[in-house]
Amino acid sequence: MTAQASPNAAEQDLIDRINNGFMVECEEDMTPKYKNALITQLTVQGDTELLSAPAYYLATRDAPTINSRIAVTAIVHDELGHANIAYRILEDLGVDRQWLVYGRQPNEFKHPYGFDQPLENWAEMVVANGFFDRAGITLLSDVHQHTSFGPLKRALVKVDREEVLHLRHGESWMKRLAKAGGEAREALQRAVDWMFPMTIEWFGLPDDLKRHSGQLVYRLKGKTNDELRQTWMSATVPLCEGIGIAVPAHLDAATQAYVLDYPFPCQYDPEAKRWLFDQPLTWDQVFDRWKARGPMNERYIEMLQGRKDGLFGGRTW
């Protein structure tokens, strides 16, 4: 709506052409506003992939077998590759790739709050694959399907294929832990308890509060936040119900939409890894929590960037 509210001719012309199926291929095809919206989208995308790597990497140590450790190490490798794909495209748009990885402060990265949290056991690792990577596929397959930017559409073919593998890894292990019963099952339930609302929040502002979306106007994505949240729940809620793991959401028979069983959004206690369902928040308060970043933010960035007193003496490559 921002773009349409101030309809200069070039802007409206681009939007019209995009609506008629025009694919943007290079900077000359863009308006400055289109370019800014694309840069924001790619930065979030790249940073999310990048920060999943140190989070998952620390949890590879909890893998119960050598084959499963190889599998999650390969996932870390894939995620770094996906980050590079987004950053490489940003480079073509004039953003310095070195700066993206090494030049920013920890709190300047644009990944979701979920990747500021520690993954402390194998159950949390596989729920991350089952929930966070499902969120990644939900978001990126929508971009792949709808984006008006040709280079990204082509690049996402490889990303989507690899994310499907991560998801399968996560879901098959979730089933296995549920079936094992006992402590494994309890750890799985504990992981789901904090990671389900974490992923729900990841999809951002609900549609009735969303003021405008350049991403939708320029067809950089197709679905709204609420639609994406529904898509994610339509896969995740039945998965958990099928293995007897409780989630705070259910399918409403009348509307055939998934409904959350807690006040959304609400407060999170990162030390206890617990959602405080009795403390509802405004979205401004959520944004403050996100901006303050979570407990692992500095550690993860330090792992990626190196540190002055560390092994490589603060060298940036």
Partner 1 sequence: MVTAERVWAALATVTDPEYPLSIVDLGMVYDVHVAGADVTIDMTFTSIGCPAIDMILDDMRQAVTLVEDVRAVHVNVVWSPPWTKDRITPLGRRVLRLHGVVN
Compute the least distance from the CB of residue 25 to partner 1, in Å. 19
Q: Which is nearer to partner 1, 1 or 70 (CB)?
A: 70
Q: Residue 168 or 212: which CB sits closer to partner 1?
A: 168
CB-nearer residue toward partner 1: 80 or 165? 165
* Alpha-carbon distance values, 265 to 203, 278, 285 (Å): 11, 11, 9
> Considering the complex, what minimum distance in angstroms separates the CB of residue 182 from partner 1?
21
Minimum CB separation of residue 282 from partner 1 in Å reads 43
For residue 79, the minimal CB distance to partner 1 (Å) is 13
- Closer by beta carbon to partner 1, 38 or else 75: 75
Structure tokens at 153: 């559409």
Q: From the CB of 75, what's the least distance to partner 1, in Å?
A: 7
Q: Which residues bind partner 1 (CB under 8 A)?
A: 65, 67-68, 70-71, 73-75, 157-158, 161-162, 164-165, 168-169, 172
Nearer CB in complex with partner 1: 63/119: 63
* Closest CB 197 distance from partner 1, rounded Å: 29
In the bound complex, what is the minimum distance in angstroms from residue 69's beta carbon to partner 1? 10
Is 152 or 249 the residue whose CB approaches partner 1 more closely? 152
How far apart CA 273 and CA 117 sit, in angstroms, is 9
Between 75 and 192, whose beta carbon lies closer to partner 1? 75
Q: Is the distance from CB of 30 to CB of 24 less than 8 angstroms?
A: yes
Q: CA-to-CA distance for 218 and 148, rounded, in angstroms?
A: 7
